[in-house]
Structure 1
């Protein structure tokens, strides 16, 4: 029966109910089998108004004891199959879903910081648990790990910031000489002869200086850069504080989450959740170890070549190495470009080194470091990295592989066994 039929039946039931309320003896008259029984209309009719409203003492005398107003008999409940009811509830559901989506869109930065902090917590938790197994209290273990993380970031800043500042000052002093040497390059002169790039650049700069847009653009760019740096510092501090809190209260958080699960399934859910968190933490530690090894040997290679910015480039190689699939290639590309501007022969040596090292890493370093984690198939790795990079950029690419490992575990241990029994 369609919606129209349900509506007609609902209206018919309402009319029958109203008729029954108006004359309560109609039902008894229909059930009477004796033809000598009096007609329902011969019986005294019930005045609903006089029986429900206290219009006067003559019409409705108050009952003995405490007075209680009679509001009549309750009617039929709302028909949940009514088109009005279905449309109203559906509209409320759409509005609620829209509000949730808008709230998530406005809280995207906060949610991202929470995800990063929780990922770092899972990465550092194995180290904390290793210390607790050696009879170190969890609070002290968290403090030691947190201090080690702060020391690592301080060391990276100490390695990167002074050389960059010194080289930046030197670059500003020798900018004219460097530009003249670049323009004397035969390849640059050939390109300029074909496309008149230098003349076009000079014309554009003179035009912007005359209009006053150049200094406004530079000032606006400086302000935007300052805002970005301030936001980055604030986000980094927020992530560190959240990570510290999550590390300290992780057992209590897990216990509270497991308590929500029904007791009949709690053991299995706990085992699966612990395995997923173990894989995520192991993957993160392994990826950091592989990137650190890559950065260390790259620094040795660049030091032997007497390449400028060796320490800074080594840090860049290590940070880019955290990105799955393309991180090592990006790091090698950056080093090769810097080496090419220093000397083309050095760039060739850098390219050969990274090709050889990549083969050693893929077949010797990576399997040994990742031996305690479950390998994710290549196709799943590619799809997960592409999807994560599309959704959340570099952060999504970093988190895609461990999430794919967890999803693969659920597929193998939950979905496939369930399908076998159906």
Structure 2
């Protein structure tokens, strides 16, 4: 026999938990937006503080940084979108010819292509069925929602950057005085790890974008800058970003010749190895000190829970989780957190001088 006895207070606590979970489910999209805003705030805060220390009004500093970021993103999209449309149109119109080139190239390499029938299969593709009017409207709605969400994130990020000190003061009202030192340490570590990851990602994206552009220009592929920008965007996505960066560039090069496609493919794959084995460890250092298995599980969990957004937020969230775990382990082992000696990636000097 199992006998359960619940007091009125216990029943009330369970009810409040259930109501809280219901609100969490209902407000999940808003929580994602706020979480994303906090991540961008952690990445941009050192630059805002740097400008404020040099006499620039805080609101003006935030506006300058966000306007510059939005201008860069808008320019990148303006470069990529027309090039992608042109390449897709060219691929659709000449796919049977490209399929024949694939068979010829494979045959020259020694493959038996007699039963492949790639040109015939390419000619049988019904493009009107693949790209219907309803799908265009659906994707258009998704793009519009994405733009509105991005603007919302920008507005919330701006508010967080402007009101950072007030928010910090409000938060510390709920922390006991004897815990304030630990709370300061914890928040600084969180800002360093999450912000450092975002800034490190900016470096790797910039490098792969420039490298891809140079390779495409040397090989003689049209729209080289657009594919470099596309590679920079794709590099943000963990694990599969490298594949996304390589495939479109290789396809575009194949439309020129199989030899050019092979050169681009090999060059970009070599770079992926260089980035994974040398560049990323040097740029991130201890900022994102996560085992490969943890990265994989975080990305898979993020993709399962929130799709593409979850994939993008997986590593910052995992890095923040590592800060919490390190804090707990240091407290249990030493009674106090370990000193923070990690240098922030691409952050201005004296990031906490005004805090």
Q: Among 407, 416, 421, which residue is 2:321 paired with?
A: 407
Partner Cα separation in structure 2 for residue 258 and residue 95 of structure 1: 29
Partner in structure 2 of residue 286 of structure 1: 200
Establish whether residue 224 from structure 1 lines up as the match of residue 144 from structure 2.
no
Establish whether residue 101 from structure 1 lines up as the match of residue 21 from structure 2.
yes
Superposed displacement of residue 90, structure 1 = 6.2
Partner Cα separation in structure 2 for residue 378 and residue 184 of structure 1: 41
Partner Cα separation in structure 2 for residue 417 and residue 275 of structure 1: 14
Taking a change above 3 Å as real, the CA distance of residues 222 and 126 of structure 1, as seen in their structure-2 partners, is same
Q: Specify every segment of 5 or more residues in structure 1 that has no aligned partner in the other structure, as ranges.
A: 4-80
Partner in structure 2 of residue 394 of structure 1: 308
Partner Cα separation in structure 1 for residue 218 and residue 181 of structure 2: 56
Partner Cα separation in structure 1 for residue 33 and residue 273 of structure 2: 35
Superposed displacement of residue 191, structure 1 = 5.3
Establish whether residue 155 from structure 1 lines up as the match of residue 75 from structure 2.
yes
Partner in structure 1 of residue 31 of structure 2: 111
Q: TM-score normalized by structure 2?
A: 0.78
Partner in structure 2 of residue 181 of structure 1: 97
Taking a change above 3 Å as real, the CA distance of residues 417 and 301 of structure 1, as seen in their structure-2 partners, is same
Partner in structure 1 of residue 188 of structure 2: 274
Partner Cα separation in structure 2 for residue 410 and residue 229 of structure 1: 35
Q: What secondary structure is seen at the aligned counterpart in 1 of 2:173?
A: helix
Establish whether residue 317 from structure 1 lines up as the match of residue 231 from structure 2.
yes
Partner Cα separation in structure 2 for residue 371 and residue 419 of structure 1: 24
Kept in 2: contact 1:192–1:198 (CA 8 A): no
Larger radius of gyration: 1
Partner in structure 2 of residue 358 of structure 1: 272
Taking a change above 3 Å as real, the CA distance of residues 341 and 90 of structure 1, as seen in their structure-2 partners, is farther
Partner in structure 1 of residue 148 of structure 2: 234
Kept in 1: contact 2:95–2:122 (CA 8 A): no
Segment of structure 1 superposing worse, 377-386 or 125-134 = 377-386
Partner Cα separation in structure 2 for residue 186 and residue 320 of structure 1: 26
Taking a change above 3 Å as real, the CA distance of residues 163 and 408 of structure 1, as seen in their structure-2 partners, is closer
Q: Specify every segment of 5 or more residues in structure 2 that has no aligned partner in the other structure, as ranges.
A: 105-112, 336-355
Partner in structure 1 of residue 222 of structure 2: 308
Kept in 1: contact 2:80–2:230 (CA 8 A): no
Q: Which has the higher contact order (CA 8 A, sep 6+)?
A: 2
Partner Cα separation in structure 2 for residue 415 and residue 368 of structure 1: 26
